[in-house]
Each structure stands twice: as C-alpha cells, then as structure tokens.
Amino acid sequence: MTQADLVLVLLWLAFAWSMGAHYTGACMGMPYASGSIRLRPALLTIAAFTLAGAAFLSHRVLVHVGHGLLRGATLGTLPAILILAAAFLLTTLFTQRRIPTSTIQILVFCLAGVAQALGLAVRWTAIGHLALVWVAAPVIACGLGFAFTRLFDRIPAMATAEATGAIGTALVAVGAAASLTMGANDVSNATSVFLSTGFSGPLAAGAIGGVGLAAGVLTWGRPLLERVAFDVVRMDRRMATAAQLVQALVVLTAVGFGDFTSMNQALIGAMAGAGLARGRETVQTPVLRGILRGWVIGPGAGFALGYAFGLGLRLW
C-alpha cells in the first residue's frame, strides 16, 4: 500500500464516521422522539442495522456512484483523496451545526467539482437524473406523510398499555428498517471511490464502509438524533410512525432502482407532511427554514470546494 492509498483509506474512515454520526436522526429520530426507545439502545440498533444494510444491500448503489458519474475516465487516487476530503469537511461542518443535510448530494457535487477542475468528463445527464430524484423525494415524502398521518388518525384510539407498547415496538422496527436503508443507501458516499480507483469491489467496499458508519453512530450520533427528534416538528406516536415509515418507503424505492436519495430529506419532508396534517402550529418553522437553506447550500458548497481542491492539485 502506497502513502496515497493509506491517506485514501484514512479519509474514507473519517468520512464514513462523520456520515454515521450525521444520519442518526434520520434513522431513529421518530422512535426516540416518541419515547419508544432510549438513547443508548437507539444508537446500538442504528449501528447494527446500518452495518447489515451496507454489507448486504448496497452493491447496486455502489456501482452506480463508483462507475456511473464519470465518462470514459478512471478516477485516480489523488483526486479521490480530494473528493473525500471536501465531502468530509462539509459533512462534519453540517453535523457540528446540527443541520441535517444530504451527504450524498455533497459527495456527488464534490466529485463533479474535482472532475471539472481536472478536465475529466462528468456525466451531467446522470447527475441531472439524480437531481430530479432528490427534488422529488422530499416532496413525495411530504405528501405521503400528510396522507399516512390522516390515515392513522382514522384508526380508533386504543389507550391500553398493551396497545401503546405495540405501537412503540412497531415504531422501533420502522426505525431499524430505516437504519438498514441508511447502510444500503449511504455507504456509497464514502467507499464508491474504492470502485472508481479499482481499490476494491462492491462487496468489500460495502462491508468496510458499514463498519465506519457504525463507529460514527456510536461515538458522535447523539446531537443529530436529538435535533431531528425534538426541534423540527412536535410529534406524537402516530405522526412519528407515519414519518419514519414514509421515509423508509421513499428511500428503499430509490435504492431498488439503483438510485440514491437523502435519508434526512425524505424524513424531514415526511415530518413536515405529518405536521401539516395536524396543523401548521406543530411545525417549528424557523428550524425548518434553516434546514432548507442547508439543503440548497450543500451541493453548491460541495462543487465549489471540490473545484477549488481540484484546481489546487492541477496547479501543483
């Protein structure tokens, strides 16, 4: 292993760790918000199911990201290092500021920025297709969150302890499914460059990436978990169940077609829809507005930072 390869692996570890921390709220925010699960069991559940999803369900997305965004070019080790460095810095910044954003969008636009600076041919039609998915996903999730909440509200309330416990258990199961989805959907952000550079195949990339994601969940997962759980929409158990279920459906559907979308954006969209189904007063508008600004800033910042890094390498 060369020094450049070692740097690439270390950056992969850092980015995977940062992503794992960033997506705890997207995975288990609703069960945690409703009191269905405590902090430590929530983080352990996320870590276990994320690792499983990355190891066994991520291969189509890995191939798409690793081989589908550049035309007729093999990404070298140094450009891959720059891409991961830019994406890691931006993801860590958003996590530190407790703004749930899309690491997939950051990664793709960091790649596009580096590639443009180095004169590599970007498949802009592929990125345009992904952009349509990214725009549509939270809108669809918002509509489904509204509809599912209204549907669940039609079910007669059952106040028994057994019924309450069953709802809580179901909500934790949906959160576990979302964690599985996160591993399948988001491991490509860190380890797709392993395919682009020929460093490994999709099986090893998925498994190794899952370990990094799980480590991030366990060591720095609390801030985003609490942000999503308590600061965006005031949720009850029915709203929380609807939002988490919609998120898993939207993202897994995208993964099933070999596409990839934002766990955070799907959940925030579903939460907004659930809140609107109960009345606008349940939605914390200033917080939601700040999150939306982060969604706009993330891709542009990724492209700009990636381009700057790539230009620096080219001039050097």
Encoded amino acid at 71, one letter = R
Tokens of 12: 């992969």
Looking at per-residue pLDDT, the higher value among 304 and 35 belongs to 304
**Taking the chain, what is the end-to-end CA distance rounded to the nearest angstrom?**
23
User: How many H helices and E strands in the chain?
Assistant: 13, 0
Q: Which residues contact 262 (CB under 8 A, 6 or more apart)?
A: 101, 102, 103, 104, 105, 134, 137, 138
Encoded amino acid at 248, one letter = A
User: How far is CA 51 from each of CA 157, 180, 230, 253, rounded to the nearest angstrom?
Assistant: 36, 8, 26, 20
Please state the rounded mean pLDDT for residues 105-130: 92
Cβ atoms of 84 and 76 closer than 8 Å:
no
- For residue range 227-279, what is the model confidence (pLDDT) as tens digits? 999 999 988 888 988 998 898 889 878 877 767 788 889 999 999 999 999 88
Query: What letter would DSSP give residue 227?
Result: H
Report pLDDT for 163: 65
The model's pTM: 0.84
Question: Which run of H or E residues covers position 121?
Answer: none
- Of all residues in the chain, the percent with pLDDT exceeding 70 is 91
Looking at per-residue pLDDT, the higher value among 98 and 63 belongs to 98
Looking at per-residue pLDDT, the higher value among 169 and 165 belongs to 169
Report pLDDT for 238: 85
**Average pLDDT of the chain?**
87
